[in-house]
Amino acid sequence: MAPERPGSVAPSPGGSILLVEDSPTVRLVMERHLRGAGLNVLSFGSPDSALRFAASHPLDIDLVVTDVVMPRMSGPAMVAELRRRIPTVPVLFVSGHAPSAELLDGPLLNKPFTRNELLAAVRQALPEACGANAGT
């Protein structure tokens, strides 16, 4: 994930990106890229901690960015649980593996990716996300 020229992503008004990545190094790099683009990032190292947060703050989540393969609970399993609480929340999956497309309920960004590729994928997902949870 080499640094590139800055790209612009409009911040999500009143909400945040729920980032779930079990690798501390990858999570830190992704956080820096997203925050550097002006986004509010709620970062978690496990699906369990992200689900606990979401249970008490569902309206604070505009977009979920999650790894696919994680210990104890996969990204798709976490998203299925999360969507019981927030049915319309958009998701961007990231993976260094080649998951089966049927397992994913959202777009996939393959690792390794650049800063601009991450921001472009988030930019595509954010228009759906902005205001999607209002009134939920």
> What confidence tens digit (pLDDT) does each residue in 26-76 have?
999 999 999 999 999 999 999 999 999 999 998 889 999 999 999 999 999
Whether pTM > 0.75 for this model: the answer is yes
95-100: Cβ within 8 A, 24+ apart = 95/67, 95/68, 95/69, 96/69, 97/68, 97/69, 99/68, 99/69
Q: Which tens digit of pLDDT belongs to each residue from 65-107?
A: 999 999 999 999 999 999 999 999 999 999 988 766 666 888 9
